[in-house]
Structure 1
Amino acid sequence: IGKYLAIDCEMVGVGPGGVESALARVSIVNFFGHPVLDKFVKTKERVTDYRTEVSGITPALMKKAESFESVQAAVADLMVDRIIVGHAIHHDLKALMLSHPRHLIRDTQLYKPFRKLTGGRTPSLKRLVELVLKRQIQSGAHSSVEDAAATMMLYRSCKDEWDREIGARLRLAERRKETKRQQRQQRQRQLNAQMDATLQTSSSSSSLPLGDHAGSMDDEADSLDEEEDSDE
């Protein structure tokens, strides 16, 4: 399977008017664009709009759908310790109710060099593929396999630069984390030293030398004698 996977999901409409989206298909391809998972997903609610013209999903295809839980588990197993590529991948992860470490995610919608190609605007996958790969996709209904493969090709076109950037950010974050850890340790040492000094000062002021103690005791005895004399 390899270290790199790209994912794409297709949704259908549920509820009144089909305005609510529900996961219906999940496709994952490897570094070379070959499918390693392509599953249809049973929806919890009745499908009211298959959105076939966009999703490519039909009632016939949904007959082979599997439970959400089984598909979710299969995807989660594949994702472990792998770099996951996607376009607006947060939507896919949300639909699957999964999370993934940020440093292992490559989102082609958010990658700054890609956004520059569209004047800083959020680029569609179709537009990015046209600009970067000089290809056409989504000429008809979407295919999550095709979209995942296109996303992987986009990542591969700038993989080295992108990974170096992520690596540099990780190293910077680690250095900042280590600096903060050292600063906390230094503050703790200073606090401990201040507490020790305060305790020593307090101990010195509350304890007198033996001679002084004796004098103090004599004074207390004289005071008691004076009190006894006055009582008499």
Structure 2
Amino acid sequence: MSFLRLLGPLPKAECEKIFKERGCDICLTLLASRNALRTHKESCQLSRSNNGLLYRMTRLGLGFQDDLKISNSQGKVVALSCKMVGGGNDGSLHLCARVCLIDEHERILFESYVAPNIPITNYRPEYMRNAMPLKQVSRKIQDYLCNGEPIWQIRTRSGRARILVGHNLDHDLKCLEMDYPTIMLRDTAKYPPLMKTSKLSNSLKYLSKAYLGKCAACYKTFNTMESLVEHMRTSYHSVHEPMCLICEKHCQSFAALRQHLIGPLPKANCEKIFKELGCNICLSLFASRNALMAHKESCPLSRSNNGFLYRGLRNDLRIDNMQRKVVAISCKIVGGGIDGAIDLCARVCLIDEHERILFDSYVEPIRPITNYRYKTSGISPRHMRGAMPINQVTGKIQYYICNGELLWQIHAGSGRARILVGHDLDRLFKCLGLQYPSVMIRDTAKYPPLMDTNKNSNSLKYLTKTYLGYEIQTRVQDPYDDCVATMRLYMKMKSQAHKREEWPLVIDPKTCNIFGSCKQSEFEKMTPAQLLEISRSNYYCWCLDSYIN
């Protein structure tokens, strides 16, 4: 009956499931694979045409394109549209005041203001000073459409008469006081596949809405391309955002993606497919239930026991260029001051990417400890008898992570300095008195994809349970467990297979002003998919560490 069956509020379940996975929402085409669908979407979604700017001479103050000549070399299809003003005592009578005719290449053939036979009572007079009389306009258009054929001899698929396309053509032709055979009319308001399910006409704005202001990343809709460009300028959509593998919607964080799939108010179609074929921990989607079952056996991790092989023995840190480029750090905090509210570091642990302990030692802080916080830290006065002074610990750790480089010479992607992973590292640095360049820090508390939907930090305990599938910090907290959890989170984020870009960040030299206001008109010509392609992330995605030598 119409094109509204597949995506409606009550679609056919089997068709809906397949179409949501491999179908285009705009042209309703079914593709062979998701990659083919992704390629198709880049060209399917159109933007407002600006070809008319080449021909619309009024924009340059030189008049309208008001000469129509019969030419057999021009196309067989033209589109017509009229703009109405009010006539009569109350201005409710529709009168044609402007008409435009284009060919199939969207080039303007004829555009002119029109002086109707009845006086206009609701309009702006300055536009009508040089208007062409209605009868002259109607005769020009009709002669061009008939293309030399008498109107009573026009037949479909024969002769030279042109097909006329428009929306609500009966109304336009009535206002123009013009006749044309119905067999040569193509009216988008009366074409059954474009009608509503109740067989009523859709507005032209509704029919064209899917082609204009819909963001290709988050699927928000906008009334104008200008609003869409402004949205892309401030949203920083990119290939590095968490994305639903079913509908390909981009989300700001994995928490938002989780709500989209399995939250209290999920997207119904995505939820249905994900519950059958998706993993609740890593949010991956699989081709079959057997593949999902095999994956679930290995996806949830468990607490590492590697630390028991080294615990208490590793308090010497040496520079070794053969060791890995990534280390994770965690410390246990006790209280100082009169009320025990001042955070002091009493134990620190450092591991490599294979979860092997590099350094594990109790730390003697500068201030006296007044609250050991034993229930969470597990530290008592007896542990502090042979503790290493904090200045010595800080020097050892800083010397090791700098790996022979001067602190002020360290920059990302080069040199020997190591990447430092941890959770809430600002607090740790303050307690240890440690300094390190932010470009070499990977903090799971500040990484945008790991934050909640309000852009607040999640606890390490929550992140471990949600994204790794096991629990930590259930009783006495072990810094080794925290190190392992942060390292696993980092390695999981780093292993994401995102599209590689030459300039991936919005602060890079060639992309820092990509959406500058001076290029507004150029961006409005682009499709939403093209806008997404040039958009860049405003945070450093950890997958980029995979490309660092």
Using the size of structure 2 for normalisation, the TM-score is 0.30
How big is the shift at 1:46?
2.1
* Map of 2:355 onto structure 1: 33
Cα distance in structure 2, aligned partners of 1:4 and 1:162: 19
Tell which deviates more after alignment, 154-163 or 103-112: 154-163
How big is the shift at 1:161?
4.2
For 2:353, the aligned partner's letter is F
- 1:29-53 Cα offsets, whole Å, 9 max, x none, are 1001111011111122221110011
* Map of 1:213 onto structure 2: none
Kindly report the root-mean-square deviation, in angstroms, between the aligned alpha carbons of the 2 structures.
2.4
* Map of 2:445 onto structure 1: 109
Gaps of 5+ in 1: 178-232
Q: Secondary structure at the match of 2:339?
A: helix
Q: Secondary structure at the match of 2:463?
A: helix
Cα distance in structure 2, aligned partners of 1:39 and 1:174: 43
- 1:166-222 Cα offsets, whole Å, 9 max, x none, are x833x9435579xxxxxxxxxxxxxxxxxxxxxxxxxxxxxxxxxxxxxxxxxxxxx
Cα distance in structure 2, aligned partners of 1:133 and 1:34: 19
* Map of 2:464 onto structure 1: 129
Cα distance in structure 1, aligned partners of 2:509 and 2:352: 30
Higher relative contact order (CA 8 A, sep 6+): 1
* Map of 2:476 onto structure 1: 141
How big is the shift at 1:119?
5.4
8 Å CA contact 1:4–1:31 kept in 2: the answer is yes
* Map of 2:379 onto structure 1: 57
Tell whether 2:444 aligns with 1:94. no
Tell whether 2:350 aligns with 1:15. no
Alignment CA distance shift 1:113-1:149 (3 Å): same
For 1:16, the aligned partner's letter is I
Q: Secondary structure at the match of 2:364?
A: coil
Percent of residue pairs identical: 32
Gaps of 5+ in 2: 1-322, 403-416, 513-549
Using the size of structure 1 for normalisation, the TM-score is 0.68
Cα distance in structure 1, aligned partners of 2:482 and 2:335: 20
For 1:168, the aligned partner's letter is P
Alignment CA distance shift 1:59-1:2 (3 Å): same
Tell whether 2:418 aligns with 1:82. yes
Cα distance in structure 1, aligned partners of 2:477 and 2:362: 14
Cα distance in structure 1, aligned partners of 2:341 and 2:497: 36
Cα distance in structure 2, aligned partners of 1:56 and 1:115: 29
* Map of 1:156 onto structure 2: 491
Higher relative helix content: 1
Alignment CA distance shift 1:65-1:32 (3 Å): same
8 Å CA contact 1:34–1:149 kept in 2: the answer is no
- 1:110-144 Cα offsets, whole Å, 9 max, x none, are 1111114x653320000000000001100101111
